[in-house]
């Protein structure tokens, strides 16, 4: 059973298999700043989904995004409240049973990720904000 802090991290931040893979990669290799094309090539993913996932991880406080002339760079620097859940996620991911639980939670979270990232105001502006 995955602890509630890790479950919250998955539901709120690591809501896709690619983001999980990126997080584990940054935990493992804490090198200098990297760009989306560089990490996409290292991880054998397309640049566009990798760029989007990196940007979302930066928005959620796992990475720091730095503006550069050609391409933003990303560095691993989680917000303080994310440090402990990320460390525990990284540790339990090495256990086969817990790994399967984590992967299932990520698959479940990915089903709702697009709804979570949709601005709440988009529904209101669709003509559904009338008062009764």
At residue 116 the predicted structure's pLDDT band, cuts being 50, 70 and 90, is low
Q: Where are the domains of the chain?
A: 4-118
Is the pLDDT at 123 greater than 60? The verdict is no
Nearest residue to 87 (alpha-carbon basis) of 12, 33, 22, 27? 27
Percentages helix, strand, coil for the chain (3-state, rounded to 5) are 65, 10, 30
For position 107, what pLDDT does the model report? 93
Which one-letter DSSP state was computed for residue 41? H
- Digit-coded pLDDT (tens) for 10-55: 999 999 999 999 999 999 987 789 999 999 999 999 999 999 999 9
Nearest residue to 86 (alpha-carbon basis) of 6, 4, 2? 6
Burial track 11-50 (b if 16+ CB lie within 10 A, e otherwise): bebbbbebbbbbbbebbeeeeeebbbeebbeeeebeeeeb
- Digit-coded pLDDT (tens) for 79-107: 999 999 999 999 999 999 999 999 999 99
For position 2, what pLDDT does the model report? 81
Angle at 3 between CA 24 and CA 61, to 5 degrees: 45
For position 7, what pLDDT does the model report? 93
Q: Which residue has the higher pLDDT, 28 or 121?
A: 28
- List, in sequence order, every residue forming a beta bridge with 63; answer none if it has no partner: 76
Angle at 113 between CA 108 and CA 119, to 5 degrees: 150
The pTM is what?
A: 0.82
Residue 21 structure tokens: 């893979």
Architecture of the CATH domain 4-118: Orthogonal Bundle (1.10)
């Amino acid at each position: 059973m995955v602890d509630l802090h890790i479950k919250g991290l998955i539901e709120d931040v690591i809501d896709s298999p690619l983001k999980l893979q990126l997080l584990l990669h940054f935990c493992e290799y804490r090198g200098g700043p990297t760009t989306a094309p560089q990490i996409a090539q290292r991880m054998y993913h397309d640049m566009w989904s990798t760029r989007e996932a990196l940007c979302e991880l930066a928005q959620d406080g796992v990475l720091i995004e730095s503006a550069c002339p050609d391409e933003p760079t990303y560095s691993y620097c989680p917000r303080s409240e994310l440090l402990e859940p990320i460390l525990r996620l990284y540790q339990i991911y090495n256990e086969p049973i817990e790994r399967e639980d984590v992967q299932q939670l990520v698959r479940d979270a990915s089903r709702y990720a697009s709804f979570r990232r949709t601005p709440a105001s988009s529904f209101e502006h669709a003509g559904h904000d009338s008062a009764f």
